[in-house]
Chains A and B, each alone.
Chain A
Amino acid sequence: MSNIAAARIQREFKEVVKCDEAAKCAIKVEMVDSDCMELRGEIAGPPDTPYEGGNFILEIKIPETYPFNPPKVRFVTKIWHPNISSKTGAICLDILKDQWAAAMTLRTVLLSLQALLAAAEPDDPQDAVVAKQYKEDPQAFEDTARHWAQVYAQAPCNNPGCSAKVNQLVDMGFTETASREALSMHSWDVEKAVEYLMS
């Protein structure tokens, strides 16, 4: 890793640890290896969103050419969001691509991701199925996102209906993950989900 990248990450790391948002437990970052090439970020789901109360883990990889090129960031925690792949966690966000600027830091990246959770961009989607649901059936989207946050990001439980449907499919012999995905894709229509799983 080049000198400038290593020195920057060290400083940015300190900046995140000391910042106000960290004090409020909204963002957090940890070293994964000692040479700073890989970090683990954590953001809290923003209030008044389906993600509220959840903790979302991020994988952050720093390229050699940092800060002249953006860090590679991916959600490790599974999440239901139009701009984040429900399968891989890949993120579609302009500042992590062509709109990156060398003056941005880990802190601004984490805060931007938090803002993305609060304000999705369904017209520039990463996950087309999620984006379609977001636009066409906002209530189903909110239920799904909340359910996923509860299952994968330890958000408090307040919609037992979804879990019941998942259990219904599990009892039919499907795995829990597959059942949840099928139900999520079909806006919790059990029949359609079963049909999808059988095909």
Chain B
Amino acid sequence: MEEADESVGYDMEFVPPLESKYECPICLMALREPTQTQCGHRFCRSCICQSMRETGSKCPIDNTPLSFSSLFPDNFAKREILGLRVKCPNPGCTFVFELRNLEEHNLKCDFYQEQCGLNCGLLIHRKSMEIHQKNECAKRLVSCEYCFIRIAFDEQENHLKECLKFPVVCQYCQMQLTREELAGHIEKDCFEVIVSCSYANMGCKEKMTRRDMLMHEKNSLVIHLQYVASTLNEMRIKSKRQLEKPETETFYHSWHTDGCKTDNEEGVTYSTSFSDPPSFTNKEPSGAYALEHSAFDFAIPDREPMRKFLPKTFNSNRSRQFSPATSHRSARHHDDIQSQYSTQTMSHMDLSILAERMRYQEGHIATQEQKILELQAKLESRDKEVKELTQKISRWEAIVMSNGIYYWKFENYTELQTITRSGETSVVHSPGFYTGYYGYKLCLRVNLNGIDSAHSSHVSLFVHFMQGEWDDFLDWPFSGKITLTILDQNEDTRVRNHISETLIAKPALAAFHRPKTNRNHKGFGYMEFAPLRTIHAGHYIKENCLLIKAVVHSN
């Protein structure tokens, strides 16, 4: 059983200066956990372990072959070094004390600096931490004064650039509104924005502010009507031209597409009144022409709308292509043309209704899109709230649900072990858990691939105390016992062979003192908890999960 400590020597100013015999030849600092080799050289334990891992098992001083098992702790040197006097390392503090009292002094030293818990990266004197986190820290949460979302102080500036509730001024009418309202305002409401006349499609080229436009539309009723009339007339002529083409199919197609385009582009140039009869109706049709229209004639006895009979026309046109009887039908030809007019007129009216409907739909879609954007923004802020609440709940669950027994389901065992072996993270911590309602908060720490002397041979398992909600009225240091178990997940419950160890808290160890940081750096447990061979050979891993159980009894 060993206390976990992975750091190099003590970087302290000794009074008087440190003798070189107590200096680690690797880190050149005062020996921490002095460890001696068979050849009589002393190193910090972590230094010599690292050296043997990095450069092979030989002494860094004289290259004598070494093995991990032949290293032994030099407790004599350790006692001597802990008895040496050092200056307090905290800038500003002038205290001199024995090295063994370092932790104790740090607990009460006014100049002790620790990392700000909000991850702003600053080192802050313990005394000033509360004020720092409340008033100064760049990562402290503040409310956006416009949308009331909670954000880190240093993100405020960026947030204001996109905050939907941020006040902006309409560039046209100088009205004050929120950023999310601006687009809709300019699109639909702003009186000062320059817009095209709503008869632009019919040929009105006027552009003016929306305010003047109301008056314009009122005053220009007659002109607008003329535009509409000439547009319709133009469409009629255009579709007639199409009719003259031999391929009825082409006509059918372009009547729907070109007709609409004409609305916008050429309608203005025509001033002929709608009732003007088309001039070519008076002409005597040529043979081909007659043939073409006799096809229509054949197909419109009941004056159906043109759309419906067109496909039929196409067929009949083909079938009558070779008919010799064409000229005797010319007497009825004028009537045919007339009927086509009425159908076309109907279709033009349909078209303008359709165009109107489309305009309406477009407006409708724009409104809907705006609504969707608003909903999305709302949803995002809800998501954030839900996330915060979930975190709160899980914290409370951890308090309420446990009664000193904690199961840690360690998922993705294989992947994590591979990563661990490649040296990425040597350690994984469990979520925190409480020993009971109003209990101590702890977490488990596992080095899947072992550490130091247990490296690559054992799973190392430790407990670390964490800062909990009730630390203020709990007894410190913790006393009691902790049982750590890796559960055998064999299907057959009779042959299950759990690996279990029980440890009794030693109040002298820093691991059982009240944590000064979110998680106590010092842990307590077993470097060689279970041989990796056993773990991999047995039924300890099931569905890629390792189950670790911790039972904590406090006295």
Contact = CB atoms under 8 A, between A and B. Distances in A.
Interface in A1-23: 3-4, 7-8, 11-12, 15
Which of B28, B60, B62 has the largest number of chain A CB atoms within 10 A?
Answer: B28
Nearest to A14: B28
Contacts of A69: 54-55
Interface residues of A, number: 16
A65 B62 contact: no
Interface string A33-71: 000000000000000000000000000000001011100
B21 to A, nearest CB: 13
Contacts of A101: 59-63
A102 B25 contact: yes
A109 to B, nearest CB: 14
A102 B28 contact: no
Contact of A67 (B11, B26, B29, B63): B26
Contacts of A99: 63
A7 B63 contact: no
Interface in A70-109: 99, 101-103, 105
Contacts of A7: 8, 11, 27-29
B55 A4 contact: no
A101 B50 CA distance: 13
B51 interface: yes
B61 A4 contact: no
A140 B59 CA distance: 43
Which of A7, A12, A99, A101 has the largest number of chain B CB atoms within 10 A?
Answer: A101
A17 to B, nearest CB: 14
A8 B51 contact: no
Nearest to A105: B28
Nearest to A99: B63
Given A4-B27, A7-B27, A68 B62 contact: no
B51 A102 contact: yes
A102 B50 CA distance: 11
A69 B59 CA distance: 14
Contacts of A11: 28-29
B45 to A, nearest CB: 14
Interface in A92-144: 99, 101-103, 105
A101 B11 CA distance: 22
A103 B20 CA distance: 13
A4 B8 contact: yes
Contact of B28 (A3, A8, A65, A68): A8
B54 A65 contact: yes
6 contacts: A67-B26, A68-B50, A69-B54, A101-B62, A102-B26, A102-B60
Interface in B13-64: 25-29, 41, 47, 50-51, 54-55, 59-63
A16 to B, nearest CB: 12
Nearest to A10: B28
Contacts, number: 45
Contacts of A102: 25-26, 47, 51, 55, 60
B29 to A, nearest CB: 7
Which of A12, A15, A68, A105 has the largest number of chain B CB atoms within 10 A?
Answer: A68
Given A11-B28, A68-B50, A99-B63, 17 more contacts: A4-B26, A4-B27, A4-B50, A7-B11, A7-B28, A7-B29, A11-B29, A65-B54, A67-B60, A68-B54, A69-B55, A101-B62, A102-B25, A102-B60, A103-B60, A103-B61, A105-B28
B51 A68 contact: yes
Contacts of B8: 3-4, 7
Contact of B27 (A8, A15, A65): A8
B25 A103 contact: yes
A195 to B, nearest CB: 48
A69 B27 CA distance: 14
A101 B8 CA distance: 18
Contacts of A105: 28
A65 B55 CA distance: 10
Nearest to B54: A68
Which of A11, A102, A105 has the largest number of chain B CB atoms within 10 A?
Answer: A102
B55 A68 contact: yes
Contacts of B29: 7, 11
Contacts of B28: 7-8, 11-12, 15, 105
A103 to B, nearest CB: 4
Nearest to A103: B25
B201 to A, nearest CB: 69
Give the 5 A-B CB pairs with smallest separation, nearest first: A102-B60, A103-B25, A68-B54, A11-B28, A103-B61
Contacts of A103: 25-26, 41, 60-61
A4 B47 CA distance: 9
A69 B55 CA distance: 8
A18 to B, nearest CB: 11
A43 to B, nearest CB: 22
Contacts of A4: 8, 26-27, 47, 50
Contacts of B41: 103
Nearest to B24: A103
A32 B416 CA distance: 41
A102 B56 CA distance: 11
Contacts of A8: 26-28
A48 to B, nearest CB: 30
A110 to B, nearest CB: 16
Interface in A152-183: none
A122 B51 CA distance: 33
A7 B30 CA distance: 13
Nearest to A101: B60
B545 to A, nearest CB: 34
A103 B60 CA distance: 5
A65 B50 CA distance: 11
Nearest to A9: B28
A7 B7 CA distance: 13
Interface string B512-533: 0000000000000000000000
Nearest to A11: B28
Contacts of B26: 4, 8, 67, 102-103
Nearest to A68: B54
A172 B361 CA distance: 95
A12 B27 CA distance: 10
B132 to A, nearest CB: 26
Interface string B62-82: 110000000000000000000
Contacts of A15: 28
Nearest to A3: B8
Nearest to A98: B63
Contacts of B51: 68, 102
A11 to B, nearest CB: 4
